[in-house]
Structure 1
Amino acid sequence: MEALCFVPAQSPLLRSKFSTNATVKSPSTTVKSNRVKPFIEATISKPTGDILPDVDKSLRAPPLAPPPLLRVSPSSLQCDSGYLIPNIPDGNGAVRDGALNAMKYLTNILSSKVYDVAYESPLQLAPKLSNRWGVNVWLKREDLQPVFSFKLRGAYNMMAKLPREQLERGVICSSAGNHAQGVALAAHRLGCNAVIAMPVTTPEIKWKSVKSLGATVVLVGDSYDEAQAYAKKTG
């Protein structure tokens, strides 16, 4: 009687251990053979990290480089008569959007009317802070502005862009202090009326400063949110 033994295929990553002698029994006879190997023990011969082959580093895609920073020379700010900004073509003759946007932004800064009312505040070195941190710390002295803060810049810059007919109707805003003074001074310089809604908890020195600049002060609500709601409803 024949006896067949099917041995599983061996994986190249597995090291098999077979028993040297095995006995195969049939109903009528017993056959000993050194060739039959029915028992298999397997161990991983390589660490898990080495199973997958290494990818050639030369085939990997290089990381995308960040776009180069735009450099603007002082001469590029000089425009021909009748033009606000120059056209900066790229290699294909088309105007680069990045350069154009940067030039527009720079033009807005240089053409802003804010310095009709604001000062070019200086930078002042803070020696004690500089010595403490080991770097040069400079302070932007916006406290030297007419209203003692930088809030005048945004208020005047926005109001100066309003059409004349809108300025004639006046402006209204809500504030608890510095912005109110900026709007009041801007309205005074632009020749329009300003109504400032301020919380009733505003210190007297602040709302009197706003009133001294020619604005109409309305003390309403116990918080800034209530004053803002009044300004939105009235405006």
Structure 2
Amino acid sequence: MELCAPHGGFASEYSPVLRVPLYSVEHITAEHIVKHQKRQQKRIDSFRPDDRLTHDQRAELEDFRRSGFDRGHMAPDADSWDEESEYDTFVLSNMVPQAPDNNRELHAHIEGAVRHMAKREGSIYVFTGPVFQGDTSYLHRRVAVPSGIFKLIYDPKRHAAAAYLENNVNGPQGQTYKVISSVELTQLTGIDFLPGIKNLGMLDLPVPRESNHFVRHSTKPNHFFGF
């Protein structure tokens, strides 16, 4: 199912069977990043089920309670540029069960690195979603828990793309990642994210660090490059 954020911040390809997005895609511009920086407001959490979906199709807040997993944004709230676009990101159809160590540390550093890239390049497209390998577990037998998380960046100016691939686990393995091509990501997920775009170069992605954040977060700075 295709779901579009009401205020245009992102769109999601959603699975009512897995009850998670297969990906959320954003067009991030330098203008958006500057607007977010100028807001200087604390994040306002407004987690909620997607009322465009039936109970059988969607995740509920109860599915995540005491599960040990975060409600992990695919299109991040920190990519929003006003209150309306931020509110849109907190719908559960934009979230997957994410290991806290990964979500709050490495994944947050990757998000920050991508925002810096968008500000530098002026305009990029970003796809973020789950990877399912091996036996899939479910929260309350309803919401699929991914084995990994990807973030694919396409830079039209450079005609190049590449993806971060992370482990969705706690501990040191949740702080590891590797960079793969868009072709490799398609082979892994079965999704052609950039149909019709041929002969893509391999995009040079920045190393994610805590210092990539525009606003300092209380997270541990250490992670390891690898997978």
Settle same-fold status: TM greater than 0.5: no
Larger CA Rg, structure 1 vs 2? 1
Choose between structure 1 and 2: higher helix proportion: 1
TM-score of the superposed pair, with normalisation by structure 2 = 0.21
Q: Which protein has greater RCO, CA pairs closer than 8 Å, 6+ apart?
A: 2
TM-score of the superposed pair, with normalisation by structure 1 = 0.20
